Amino acid sequence: MASKHAEPTPIRPNPPFKVGLIGVTGYGYDYFKCLSKLVEQGRIEWGAVTIINPDEAREQIQIFESLGVPIYADYRQMLKMESRALDWVCIPTGIGFHKQMAVDCLKLGLQTLVEKPLAPVLQEVEAIQDAEREANIVASVGFQHTYVEDTWKIKKRLLEGAIGQVQRVDCLGLWPRSRDYYHRNEWAGKLRVGDSWILDSPFHNGLSHLVNLILFWLGDTLESGADPKQISAELYRAKDIESFDTVRTVATTESGVEAAVTVSHSSLHNIDPEIRITGTEGQLLWRYSGAHSLVSDNGSETIVSSNPVEIRALMFDAVVDRIGGAKSRNCSTRLAKGVCKWANAIHDTCPIEDIPDRFRVKVSSENGEAFDAIDNLEYIALKAHNEGISLKAAGAPWAIEPLVRDVSDYREFEGKLCHPVDGKGKIVEISS
């Protein structure tokens, strides 16, 4: 069930393949752990690493030094010195670094895995794709759910007409995030850092896997994704950040299917993501935790899901298979681009609305973490999700009417509605 975008670009006929890793702390530590297991299995070898914060990576440095792995403080120096020794580079860095790092790797003919989201804006996605075409390499993007078997089985069942003609998709995910989450690095919750757009949000980052899955499943062939033609959006901010932390948005695809997404980091309680796909003859329910279910006029079936803990490792397995010349599942930049388009479009359609103080709740967890939340958001979001209505229609006293935009010819991020703020709703002037 692998797509044409999964066609291999063999570099070495035999493993172990040499990998370069840019960053080993933060989310990079998860990459480090997954790659270390592949090293233990003999499937890959460490080629080189870039570590810019040695004080926070003493354990990793000790391991690399014991193995004789070259360590660099600048990824550009690593590429300059080690490109001929490397087969593959992994980029688990901040959103604002993805484009340049991916382009630099591709220009050297290196297989590239870049963490999601692919890039903050469409212009940077295009630059990465230009580099792919020039190098004749198809990069991989870290939307890890795209690499697992149940994702592709669902796509196949939808194309087979298991629930008839798809009419609508509804998605909900509420994952509370603390103040510490937004203080973990310089770009969390930011619209931009310096001259670089970031556009961090639950829609474009923390829960963006859901958006990627929806667009993939709505594609009209096994290997394609859907393209939003119209979007509506309502964006809200309850936290002391620049970007939004709560959103409801609806995209209409070229085939006329409406896909509604309601996600937030500002709920008091966790509601694990689900995606409900409704067709003329049934319904499919994807669950982040637990098995997926398909109920139709012809009966019901259960689609076994992958363990969420193992999904990242499955992604790395698939990428290594592909480097070795096998045809395997892959999230290409073509599939990942739709998330960026949708995320860019909602920013260019709707200004961020601050939640009034009287509807905000501040709580502390047992371990002392502080959370800023929206009062009663769980009830409102569930009502909007289950009834297919806006947050305002669901009874949110702070909500606005969704704003709508045709994005059939939307090609570039504009950014005219994205004003960095000081965390108190006051716009900060930026130089153009």
CATH number of the domain enclosing 277: 3.30.360.10
The reported pLDDT for the residue numbered 305 is: 86
Same domain, 127 and 199: no
Contact at 8 Å (CB) between 32 and 24?
yes
pLDDT band at residue 430 under the 50/70/90 scheme: very low
Contacts of 366 (CB under 8 A, 6+ apart): none
Assess if residue 199 is contained within a domain: yes
Q: Does the residue 374 lie in any domain? A: yes
Tokens of 427: 């716009």
With the C-alpha atoms ordered 166, 168, 174, 175, is the resulting torsion angle positive or negative? positive
Q: Give the separation between CA 271 and CA 211, rounded to whole angstroms.
A: 17
Question: What are 370-397's pLDDT values in tens digits?
Answer: 999 999 999 999 999 999 999 999 999 9
Q: How far apart are CA 265 and CA 245, in angstroms?
A: 5
Q: What is the CATH number of the domain that holds 92?
A: 3.40.50.720
Judge whether 24 lies within some domain.
Answer: yes
Contact 150, 305 (CB under 8 A): yes
Lowest mean pLDDT among 126-130, 167-171, 224-228, 428-432: 428-432
Give the number of residues written for the chain.
432
Query: Quick check: 322 and 8 in contact, CB under 8 A?
Result: yes
Residue 333 belongs to what H/E stretch? helix 333-349
pLDDT of residue 62: 98
Whether 368 and 345 map to the same domain: the answer is yes
385/289: higher pLDDT: 385
Distances 414 to 44, 121, 338 between C-alpha atoms, Å: 42, 9, 16
Task: Identify the three-state secondary structure at position 156.
Answer: helix
- Shared domain for 31 and 111, answered yes or no, is yes
pLDDT at 70: 98
Contact 158, 296 (CB under 8 A): no
Whether residue 162 sits in one domain with residue 112: no
**Predicted local distance difference test score (pLDDT) of residue 420:** 64
Q: Look up residue 5 and give its DSSP letter.
A: G
Peptide bond into 117 cis (omega under 30): yes
Do 104 and 224 lie in a common domain? no
| Cβ-proximal residues to 89 (8 Å cutoff; 6+ apart), any chain | 19, 20, 21, 22, 79, 105, 110, 111, 112, 113
Q: Please, how many CA atoms are within 13 Å of residue 173, restricted to the half-sphere of its CB?
A: 27
The answer to whether residues 194 and 216 belong to one domain is: yes
Q: What is the mean pLDDT of residues 182-196?
A: 95
Any domain includes 312: no
Q: Which of 77, 59, 62, 69 is nearest to 18 (CA)?
A: 69
What was the pLDDT predicted at 327?
A: 86
Based on the domain organization, do 277 and 360 belong to the same domain? yes
Same domain for 174 and 258, yes or no, is yes
Same domain, 161 and 134: no
Indicate if the pLDDT at residue 421 is higher than 80: no
Residues 209 and 358 in one domain: yes
Task: Confirm if 399 and 234 have CB atoms less than 8 A apart.
Answer: yes
User: Are 158 and 102 found together in one domain?
Assistant: no
Range of the domain at 12: 4-145
What is the rounded CA–CA span in Å between residue 275 and residue 257? Answer: 14
Peptide bond into 13 cis (omega under 30): no
Number of domains present in the structure of the chain: 2
Q: What pLDDT is recorded for position 14?
A: 73
Task: Please tell me whether residue 201 adopts helix, strand or coil conformation.
Answer: coil
Q: Is the pLDDT of residue 12 over 90?
A: no
Residue 288 maps to a domain? yes
Return all residues near 37 (Cβ < 8 A) that are at least 6 apart: 313
53 located within any domain: yes
Compute the half-sphere exposure of residue 243: CA atoms within 13 Å on the CB side of its CA: 30
Residue 269 and residue 209 share a domain: yes
CA distances, 408 to each of 256, 380, 411 (Å)? 12, 31, 9
Which of 145, 166, 193 is where one domain is finished? 145
